Amino acid sequence: MRADLVARSYADTLLSLAERHGGRATAEEFLRAGEELAALVDADPRIREFLTTPRLTTEARKTVLRQALAGRVPELFLRFVLVVVDKKRQALLRQIVLAYRDRVDEMLGRVRVAVTVSHEPDLALQDEVRRYLETRLGKAVIPTFTVDPELLGGIVVRVGDQILDGSVRSRSARIRRRLLEVELPQAAAAAV
């Protein structure tokens, strides 16, 4: 079975668990715990190796995870992680967390967007962009801003697989295409 399908299946299970044990608040608490765990995995190659090396037994992994996560994450979330390790799917923990985040966002009617701008946006611009996108998308928006100095101006927004390109470069390219597509009247074409 494909890794993304397996990750989504585990994410659905975790969301069901959260809904049965506290609903939205628990779902968001699990999300914070999962994002913390994913950040640890991303930050340290030794943690990735610990999760994937065949030299460790499942029990050894579970013992270390219990010690590292006890008190830092909800007990029910920790038990879920230990089941993932029992099933030998620990290499998918980061993917499970990302799939879970998508499911929680969907449940709460929000969407995450990547916003690229040409210069560092101040708080007023960030708020304006967020409000505009919320109006356009009809959902609460969680934007992540990045700066690309190569961008001449304007803004590029990525929502999932969709790109909303309002950059100066793309606008000028559209205008150029339109100008090249225009058919000139016969009299004007003869004069050129």
**Domains within the chain, CATH numbers bracketed:** 3-106 (1.10.520.20), 110-181 (3.40.30)
User: What is residue 133's predicted lDDT score, i.e. its pLDDT?
Assistant: 86
For residues 65 and 13, is the Cβ–Cβ distance under 8 A? no
Residues of the chain below pLDDT 50: none
User: What is residue 3's predicted lDDT score, i.e. its pLDDT?
Assistant: 85
Sheet holding 162-165, edge to edge: 140-147, 110-117, 155-159, 162-165
pTM over 0.85: no
Q: In this structure, what DSSP letter does residue 92 have?
A: G
User: What is residue 98's predicted lDDT score, i.e. its pLDDT?
Assistant: 92
User: What is residue 189's predicted lDDT score, i.e. its pLDDT?
Assistant: 53
- Taking alpha carbons only, the member of 96, 40, 28 closest to residue 68 is 40
CA dist., res. 158 & res. 162, Å (int): 6
Return mean pLDDT, the chain: 84
User: What is residue 99's predicted lDDT score, i.e. its pLDDT?
Assistant: 92
